[in-house]
Amino acid sequence: MIITEILEKNKRLYGEDIALVERIPASGSRSEMTWNEFYQTSCRLAKALEKNGIKKSDKVVQLMSNSMEWLPIYFGILYTGAWAVPLNFRFESDKILLCTRTAEARAFIFGEEFIQRIEAIKPQLDPMVETWIFTGPAPLCPEWACPFDEFIREEDGLVRPKVDLAPEDDAALYFTSGTTGTPKAVLLTHKNLAHACEVENAHHGQTREDIFLCIPPLYHTGAKMHWMGSFLVGGKCVLLRGVKPEWIIEAVSEEKCTIAWLLVPWAHDIIIAIENGDIDLKKYRLDQWRLMHAGAQPVPPSLIQTWHEYFPGQEYDTNYGLTESTGPGCVHLGVENSGRVGPIGLPGHGWEVKVVDKLGEELFGGESGELIIKGPGVMKEYYKNPEATKKTLKDGWLHTGDIARTDKDGFIWLVDRKKDMIIYGGENIFPVEIEDFFIRHEKIKDIAVIGVPDDRLGEIPAGIISVKPGAFMCESDIVQFQAQLPRYKQLKQIFFGEVPRNPTGKIEKPKLRRIYAEDKRKDIKKLLK
């Protein structure tokens, strides 16, 4: 199956039904798009791109914040046979330049907030990028670009371009978030994308009656691939631009959403808002909200236990995935196992999973090793990076670089990322285990644990702690609380401050290491000897 065929099916069967709703709480605006309008916008863009020389296997960069046009533009690129290249909207000019050059893009579609970042590097992208398309308000369009509405104005949207596509054809180039270093280019095929639709629908059983609330950025495989379960059956999607707790609850209530995928920080913020009295659940219609699933990072068990206290009848699920597996779902807890708070689950629909040692031998009995996966969602390659591809893809297995273990019932527990592991005096410490311990404290909103260089011990664990609004903590509170941990896992340095996370909810540990571990000029007090 080709993923664009699903859009044609939805247009044919449900053309006048609402496909997308966009809510912008900050301005109070709300807009809708039908499946007919979705399809026609995609077709018109595809024909306009073709007229400007874009053909099969060319690359088109998409640098946009979430908007009503984001998904139709993505599918318009796919209709040409070109590769869609969505970029992280937080990338600065240097990374935008790197990614665009790596892709050798011939066209570039962008929003108004990126004008300055692009102008700083545009001379270095000319003449490789031949076509610049601006999706913001026409009066703000730079003279070197064409407004989107004008670009597609003369095109007929009733019939898609006639481009032969096969499941094995290349479809999209996604760049990893870069939380562990320079982003790598992940090449996905149409088969990968179609499988993501099937996986998500198999796991969460979306029907046309379900309404999916989408908040995370669409450039990321997580948000889009979770939406694809609803896309497969022609279900409605609500795009919410904003993450304030009251905005999320209002959207669920007013749009009658049945499914919402939340990043862990947002779920935390909702709980805090309820506890502080900023949200009164009695004022909202939430009985139709059947499923909250969370992912993109380990989900603290204490979070889900508290969540169920406020939403007792709601199903919970979590998925594990990565860009290289075409997003979430290669490991899947399942709503039927929502009582098992802690593990990330079992092999997902169509997937095989193993935990292996350094020699590639499978581990059982709770031993920690590297998580490896195999299935139709495994990427084709790291584009233009054969060395990284060879290290990551071995005999059809994708080596994730994440550390996991398997319990006696076969459920997989995520321990930590291999690159985040701290080696303290010869002992292996997994930061997520310490983070999960501290997040249970009633005054702690968020925490990140990193390794800080130490001349004698190699590395020592340091914690950056964000305290809940209105709460107060000092170093002695942390020292007293962590006395329950084994001594080697206790924090040796403690800092109070914000924990930076990227748009997909992952802690930006390289940034924290630069601030707390690499700046030797800082006067850092060691709390424990």
pLDDT tens-digit series, residues 39-96:
999 999 999 999 999 999 999 999 999 999 999 999 999 999 999 999 989 888 999 9
How many domains is the chain built from?
A: 3
User: For residue 177, is it within any domain?
Assistant: no
Q: Is the peptide bond before 298 cis (omega within 30 degrees of 0)?
A: no
Please check whether residues 246 and 390 belong to one and the same domain. yes
- Among 402, 417, 432, the domain boundary falls at 417
Closest residue by Cα to residue 98 from 169, 206, 176? 176
pLDDT at 221: 86
- Among 376, 401, 417, the domain boundary falls at 417
User: For residue 309, is it within any domain?
Assistant: yes
User: For residue 479, is it within any domain?
Assistant: yes
User: 328 vs 12, 70, 295, 354, CA distance in Å?
Assistant: 29, 20, 8, 17
Please check whether residues 330 and 404 belong to one and the same domain. yes
142-149: list long-range contacts, CB under 8 Å, 24+ apart. 142/115, 145/110, 148/45, 148/69, 148/109
Which one has a higher pLDDT value, 88 or 124? 124
Strand partners, 458: 424, 454
Please check whether residues 304 and 331 belong to one and the same domain. yes
Residue 525's pLDDT band, with cuts at 50, 70 and 90, is: very low
- Whether residue 178 is predicted with pLDDT greater than 70 in this model: the reply is no
Q: What is the mean pLDDT of residues 507-521?
A: 73
Give the CATH number, domain containing residue 493.
Answer: 3.30.300.30
Instruction: Look up the pTM and report it.
Output: 0.84
Which domain covers residue 231, as residue numbers? 196-417
User: For residue 190, is it within any domain?
Assistant: no
- Whether residue 18 is predicted with pLDDT greater than 70 in this model: the reply is yes
Give the CATH number, domain containing residue 50.
Answer: 3.40.50.980
pLDDT of 350-398, one tens digit each? 999 999 998 999 998 789 899 999 999 999 999 999 999 999 999 999 9
Please check whether residues 234 and 155 belong to one and the same domain. no
Percent above pLDDT 70 for the chain: 95
User: For residue 172, is it within any domain?
Assistant: no
User: For residue 351, is it within any domain?
Assistant: yes
Indicate the pairing of strand 327-332 with strand 146-147: unpaired
Q: Following CA atoms 231, 65, 177, 301 in sequence, which dihedral angle do they give, to the nearest 10 degrees?
A: -60
